[in-house]
């Protein structure tokens, strides 16, 4: 198998397209040959970085030096660009959310099979260290029997940019951030998702969801709350993980937080004054009755995504992001939208 790098073209050289170019710099497996963007200033940026600025998408497809097309355009254009690139014999890396719905994804997968080219979605947040740390905590079993977790991201500046606020471009926070949080969640809690309930929110009256609360129940009885907000002015933890003998908390992306677990010598709780009353149930534990430990931080390198993509395209490894996994999450989001519309909890699997 040749070890020459595969030539790659980035279609859509906006915020994320440029980020891919930065991440790919210096990699021996893939080399960015050029970009195509419908905006002149993004084409100029590509030229200023020493890249080729293809005049059209067709010119990208016609270049035999391009083996891989990376799609980083707004969400509504992923399907037709992916199908065209696969049909032209290119392997494709596609930004998340893969498309607007499962029907579009099915068309892409059919094109991928027909052309015998790899199609892989950039679910890069599987490499987030906060997520990998939660995964390790659950695998270590330090919290006792795990029964509930919360996974959230919150901002206060509303939905950024232009197309993300527009429904027909595939805007909204479920497709933008929900897809990441749900994609990871299902690796933390095994088994079928039996029921979900979703409430989207529109606090400033946008046409797309500005955030949501999504409650999931798994077949083992565990539950999860996934929350995304863009009109939220106080921080809440990225992660809260509850087990029968401990709680883990990750505050933010700097990985501040820790684990509090049951210690050896907790006596009977004494009532404390709480507001206008007394409580024994909610009295805090004593120092002797708990053990505080730091998070077992897991390190990662998101460039392993691209390395795996190349090896998968060469038939040497299975893709780390499979289209079946991506389809399950797309169906989950579709069911979440339906739950919101109906105002009901819905069975899922």
Cis peptide before 324 (omega within 30 of 0): no
Binding residue for ligand NAD, selected from 12, 229, 246, 257, defined by CB under 6 A: 12
Binding residue for ligand NAD, selected from 5, 16, 31, 298, defined by CB under 6 A: 16
Q: Interacting stretch for ligand NAD, rule CB under 6 A, among 13-21, 110-118, 224-232, 326-334?
A: 13-21
Task: Give the nearest distance from C-beta 87 to ligand NAD in angstroms.
Answer: 16
Q: Which two tokens stand for residue 261?
A: 């677990």
CB 295 within 8 A of CB 248: yes
Closest to ligand NAD by CB, 57 or 348: 57
Closest to ligand NAD by CB, 15 or 190: 15
C-alpha 63/C-alpha 50 separation (Å) is: 17
Decide: is 14 part of the binding site for ligand NAD (CB under 6 A).
yes
Binding residue for ligand NAD, selected from 6, 29, 30, 42, defined by CB under 6 A: 42
HSE at residue 124, side-chain half, CA atoms within 13 A, is 15
Q: Which two tokens stand for residue 51?
A: 């890249």
Binding residue for ligand NAD, selected from 6, 8, 29, 36, defined by CB under 6 A: 36
Binding residue for ligand NAD, selected from 4, 22, 25, 39, defined by CB under 6 A: 39
Q: Interacting stretch for ligand NAD, rule CB under 6 A, among 7-15, 100-108, 213-221, 223-231?
A: 7-15
The strand order across the sheet containing 239-243 reads 290-293, 257-262, 246-250, 239-243, 146-154, 223-229, 211-218, 193-201, 346-347
Q: Give the number of other CB atoms < 10 A from CB of residue 16.
A: 17
Task: Give the nearest distance from C-beta 281 to ligand NAD in angstroms.
Answer: 42
Decide: is 161 part of the binding site for ligand NAD (CB under 6 A).
yes
Site string for ligand NAD, 73-112 (x = CB under 6 A): xxx-x-----------------xx----------------
Tokens 């992923």 belong to: 78
Q: What is the largest CA-CA distance in the chain?
A: 76
C-alpha 243/C-alpha 299 separation (Å) is: 24
Decide: is 126 part of the binding site for ligand NAD (CB under 6 A).
no
CB 158 within 8 A of CB 204: yes
Task: List interacting residues with ligand NAD (CB under 6 A).
Answer: 11-17, 36-39, 42, 57, 72-75, 77, 95-96, 122, 124, 161, 163, 176
């Amino acid at each position: 198998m040749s070890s020459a790098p595969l030539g790659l073209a980035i279609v859509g050289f906006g915020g994320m397209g440029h980020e891919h170019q930065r991440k790919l710099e210096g990699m021996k497996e893939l080399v960015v040959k050029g970009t195509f963007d419908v905006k002149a200033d993004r084409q100029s940026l590509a030229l200023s970085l020493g890249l080729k600025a293809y005049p059209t998408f067709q010119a990208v497809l016609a270049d035999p030096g391009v083996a891989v097309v990376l799609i980083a355009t707004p969400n509504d254009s992923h399907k037709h660009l992916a199908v065209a690139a696969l049909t032209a014999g290119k392997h494709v890396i596609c930004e998340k959310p893969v498309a607007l719905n499962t029907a579009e994804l099915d068309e892409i997968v059919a094109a991928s099979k027909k052309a015998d080219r790899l199609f892989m979605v950039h679910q890069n947040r599987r490499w987030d260290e906060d997520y990998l740390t939660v995964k390790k905590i659950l695998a270590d079993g330090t919290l006792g029997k795990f029964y509930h977790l919360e996974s959230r991201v919150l901002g206060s500046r509303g939905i950024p940019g232009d197309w993300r606020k527009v429904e027909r471009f595939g805007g909204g926070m479920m497709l933008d951030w929900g897809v990441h949080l749900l994609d990871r969640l299902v690796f933390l809690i095994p088994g079928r998702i039996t029921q979900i309930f979703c409430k989207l929110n529109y606090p400033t009256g946008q046409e797309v969801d500005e955030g949501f609360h999504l409650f999931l129940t798994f077949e083992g009885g565990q539950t999860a709350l996934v929350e995304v907000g863009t009109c939220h002015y106080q921080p809440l933890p990225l992660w809260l993980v509850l087990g029968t003998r401990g709680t883990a908390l990750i505050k933010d992306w700097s990985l501040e937080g820790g684990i509090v677990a049951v210690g050896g010598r907790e006596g009977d709780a004494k009532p404390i004054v709480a507001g206008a009353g007394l409580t024994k149930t909610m009295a805090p534990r004593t120092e002797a009755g708990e053990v505080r430990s730091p998070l077992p931080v897991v390190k990662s390198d998101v460039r392993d995504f691209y390395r795996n993509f190349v090896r998968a395209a060469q038939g040497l490894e299975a893709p780390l992001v499979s289209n079946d996994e991506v389809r399950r999450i797309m169906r989950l989001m579709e069911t979440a939208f339906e739950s919101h519309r109906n105002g009901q909890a819905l069975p899922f699997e």
